Amino acid sequence: MLRITDLSIEKINSLLDSADEFANGKIQRATQDVFVANLFFEDSTRTKTSFDIAQRKLGLQVVPFDITTSSLNKGESLYDTVKTLKSLGIDLAVVRHPKDKFYEELKSIGLPVINGGDGTGNHPSQNLLDLMTIRQEFGHFKGLKIGIVGDVKHSRVANSNAVALRKMGAKVYFSGPEKWFDEGTIINGTYLSIDDLVKEVDVLMLLRIQHERHGEKMKISLESYHRKFGLTVDREKMMKEKAIIMHPAPINRGVEIANSLVECGRSRIFKQMQNGVFARMAILKDALEAEGFQFG
């Protein structure tokens, strides 16, 4: 599981079905010992913890791995570290790494690797939980209008979500500061001003401003960002009756979204987190079954 954009419509639907089953209380556990490790080279609360909980719910053995006290400090490469874990008996690794496509160099090792986020590349388990949350709400993707707003350039979900959503039949719109749209970034959708976009869409996906990826000092103040591109209290009132708000979190409250809207009636932000555990259970089970492991 490296990129959502590699998956067929059938595969995506089958993973979403599996995730929904877990959300509805289905219990499945590995019928033998399975050892997994989570290697996070970037900070994470949601992704790491929800993979961890998903693994425990599936009855897997989670072997702790702390990159800050590992032999990576002695100069050991990612390749040698992952090959070592395989030698030690780890059956699957979840890896988040700041390098785009870090997984390419790991392929020859033969250990199943789930991409927990690569650089500004992909974040397939986030994609899947986003799709899951939309499908739960509307029952389908066909003809839905999805708005993706914000720091598209530094986001590893914006573009992959756009590609996946179009594949599933949705229509995609973008908004946000124009300098954050490289040539080609909006190839998969239409750019609208934020005021036009909020009136149009069924799903408003807000992106986090990734301070930690902006090398240069941001030229725009956070207050000004909120006023010009954020979901203000006034803009929320312009949204369609059944439209929902999504955000991958962590949220910069008062920047991408007004503080008071984070837990409002249309917000699915904490629902997304809840779904994240079930989406990851589906991904893990699928990857392990492909290796011959069984669940019962």
Tell me which stretch binds a second copy (CB under 8 A): 38-46, 113-121, 125-133, 188-196: 38-46
Give the C-alpha separation, 72 to 75, whole Å: 5
Among 5, 57, 119, 240, binds a second copy (CB under 8 A): 57
* Minimum distance of a second copy from residue 66's CB (angstroms): 7
How far is the CA of 59 from the CAs of 55, 68, 113, 114, 274, in angstroms? 6, 27, 18, 18, 19
User: Binding of a second copy at residue 45 (CB under 8 A)?
Assistant: yes
Give the C-alpha separation, 133 to 23, whole Å: 11
For 39-79, the three-class secondary structure string (H helix, E strand, C coil) is EECCCCCHHHHHHHHHHHHCCCEEECCCHHHCHHHHCCCHH
Give the C-alpha separation, 216 to 184, whole Å: 22
* Minimum distance of a second copy from residue 136's CB (angstroms): 15
Instruction: Please list every residue from 126 through 165 that binds a second copy, using CB under 8 A.
Output: none
Among 53, 192, 238, 264, binds a second copy (CB under 8 A): 53
Give the C-alpha separation, 112 to 106, whole Å: 9
CA neighbours within 13 Å on the CB side: how many for 204?
34
Which candidate, 31, 113, 131, places its Cα nearest to that of 284?
113
* Minimum distance of a second copy from residue 173's CB (angstroms): 27
Among 21, 46, 137, 190, binds a second copy (CB under 8 A): 46
Among 85, 95, 172, 194, binds a second copy (CB under 8 A): 85
Give the C-alpha separation, 284 to 34, whole Å: 11
For residue 222, the one-letter residue type is: L
User: Binding of a second copy at residue 69 (CB under 8 A)?
Assistant: yes
Alpha-carbon torsion angle 277, 282, 283, 287, nearest 10: 140
Binding mask of the shown chain, residues 254 to 273, with x at each position contacting a second copy by CB under 8 A: ----------------xx-x
Structure tokens at 217: 């000092």
User: Binding of a second copy at residue 222 (CB under 8 A)?
Assistant: no
* Minimum distance of a second copy from residue 186's CB (angstroms): 26
Among 9, 89, 224, 233, binds a second copy (CB under 8 A): 89
Residue whose CB is less far from a second copy, 71 or 294:
71
135 labelled binding-site residue: no
DSSP, res 156:
S
Residue whose CB is less far from a second copy, 8 or 68:
68
214 labelled binding-site residue: no
Give the C-alpha separation, 129 to 151, whole Å: 20
Is the CA virtual torsion 73, 76, 77, 78 positive or negative? negative
Alpha-carbon torsion angle 87, 90, 94, 95, nearest 10: -20
Among 35, 138, 181, 191, binds a second copy (CB under 8 A): 35
* Minimum distance of a second copy from residue 283's CB (angstroms): 15
Among 276, 283, 287, 293, binds a second copy (CB under 8 A): 276
Binding residues: 46-47, 74, 96, 123, 126, 156, 208, 249-250
Residues in contact with a second copy by CB under 8 A are 33, 35, 37, 40, 43-46, 48-50, 52-53, 56-57, 61, 63-66, 68-77, 80-81, 83-85, 87-90, 211-212, 249-253, 270-271, 273-274, 276-277
Binding residues for L-aspartate: 74, 156, 208
